[in-house]
A and B are shown apart, each in its own frame.
Chain A
Amino acid sequence: MSAQILVDVLKRAVARGATAADGFLVEERHFSALVRLGQVDTVTHADDRRLSLRVFVGKASAAASTSDLSRDSLERVVDEATALARITSADPHAGLPEPGELIATLPELDLADPTGHDLAPEDKIELARRAEAAALAEDPQVTNSEGAEFFDRQARYAYATSHGFERDYPTSSFGITASPVASRDGDMQRDTWYSTARKRARLDDPESIGRTAARRAVRRLGARKVKTTEVPVIFDPENAASLLRAIAGAASGPTLYRRASFLLERLGTRIAAPSVTIVDDGTLPGALGSRPFDGEGLPTRRTTIVRDGVLESYLLDSYSGRKLGMASTHHAVRDGAGVSVSTSNLMLLPGSASPADLIRSVKTGFYVTELIGFGVNGVTGDYSRGASGLWIENGELSYPVEEVTVAGNLLKMLDAVEGIGNDLTMRDRTVSPTLLIGRMVVAGN
Chain B
Amino acid sequence: MTDSVLVRPERFFSDRFNVTPSLMEKVLGGALKGRVDDADIYLEYRINEELVLEEGAVKKASRHVSQGAGVRAQAGTRTGYAHTDDITMRNLEEAARQARSIADRATASTALATPGAGRPHDLYTLDEPPILTDLARKLELLRKVDAAARAADPRVRQVIASVASEEVVTLIATVTGWSVGDVRPLTRLNVTTIAEDGGKREIGTYGGGGRVRFDFFLDGERWKRFATEAARQAILKLGAVDAPAGTMTVVLGPGWPGILLHEAIGHGLEGDFNRKGVSAFAGRVGQKVASELVTVVDDGTIPNRRGSLNVDDEGTPTGRTVLIERGVLRGYLQDKLNARLMGTAPTGNGRRESYAHPPLPRMTNTFMLAGNDDPADILKSVKNGLYAVAFGGGQVDITNGKFVFSASEAYLIEDGQVTKPVKGATLIGNGPDALTRVTHVGNDLELDEGIGTCGKDGQSVPVGVGLPTTRIDGMTVGGTAV
A positions within 8 Å CB-CB of B: 36, 39-50, 60-69, 73, 76-77, 80-81, 83-85, 87-89, 91, 94, 121, 144-146, 181, 187-190, 220, 223, 225, 228-230, 258-260, 264, 336-338, 370, 372-375, 377-380, 382, 384-386, 388, 402-409, 441, 443-445
Contacts and interface: CB of A to CB of B under 8 A. Distances in A.
A89 B57 CA distance: 6
Contacts of B78: 39-43
Q: Which 5 A-B pairs have the closest CB atoms?
A: A405-B478, A386-B404, A373-B404, A89-B57, A375-B426
B201 A259 contact: yes
Contacts of B68: 48, 67
Nearest to A444: B476
B316 interface: no
B406 A384 contact: yes
- Name, among A40, A63, A402, the residue most crowded by chain B CB atoms within 10 Å (CB to CB): A40
Interface stretch (B119-127, B183-191, B239-247, B327-335): B239-247
Contact of B278 (A144, A228, A404): A144
B158 interface: yes
Given A189-B399, A444-B476, 12 more contacts: A43-B81, A45-B98, A47-B85, A76-B65, A88-B58, A146-B278, A229-B482, A338-B62, A373-B393, A373-B426, A377-B203, A445-B476
B321 to A, nearest CB: 24
B405 interface: yes
B105 A40 contact: yes
Contacts of A61: 59-60
B452 interface: no
Interface residues of B, number: 84
B62 A66 contact: no
A438 B479 CA distance: 17
A120 to B, nearest CB: 11
Contacts of B66: 50, 65-68
Contacts of A47: 84-86
Contact of A375 (B276, B430, B478): B478
A443 B194 contact: no
Given A46-B83, A67-B68, A441-B482, A187 B426 contact: no
Contacts of A84: 61-63, 135
Contacts of B423: 377, 380, 382
Contacts of B139: 87
A88 B53 CA distance: 10
A187 B397 CA distance: 13
A437 B157 CA distance: 34
B194 A384 contact: no
Contact of B64 (A65, A220, A407): A65
A444 B247 contact: yes
A190 B247 CA distance: 25
Contact of A441 (B59, B95, B245): B245
Interface string B235-267: 000000001011100000000000000000000
Contacts of B430: 403
Given A41-B79, A62-B61, A405-B428, A259 B194 contact: yes
B54 to A, nearest CB: 7
A402 B428 CA distance: 10
Nearest to B136: A87
A220 B401 CA distance: 13
Contact of A372 (B83, B196, B404, B479): B404
Interface in B85-121: 85-86, 95, 98-99, 101-102, 105
26 contacts: A39-B76, A45-B83, A47-B86, A64-B64, A64-B65, A65-B65, A68-B65, A80-B63, A81-B63, A87-B58, A87-B61, A88-B59, A187-B400, A189-B399, A189-B400, A190-B399, A228-B245, A258-B54, A337-B62, A379-B194, A402-B402, A403-B402, A405-B476, A409-B480, A443-B428, A444-B246
A63 B54 contact: no
- Name, among B157, B245, B392, the residue most crowded by chain A CB atoms within 10 Å (CB to CB): B245
B61 A88 contact: yes
B441 interface: no
Nearest to A84: B61
B253 to A, nearest CB: 18
A375 B425 contact: yes
A43 B276 CA distance: 18
- Name, among B276, B429, B430, the residue most crowded by chain A CB atoms within 10 Å (CB to CB): B276
B82 A46 contact: yes
Contacts of B82: 44-46
A36 B276 contact: yes
A77 B405 CA distance: 40
B77 A188 contact: no
Nearest to A260: B194
Nearest to A60: B59
Interface in B122-165: 135-136, 139, 157-158, 160
A336 B426 contact: no
A259 B246 CA distance: 32
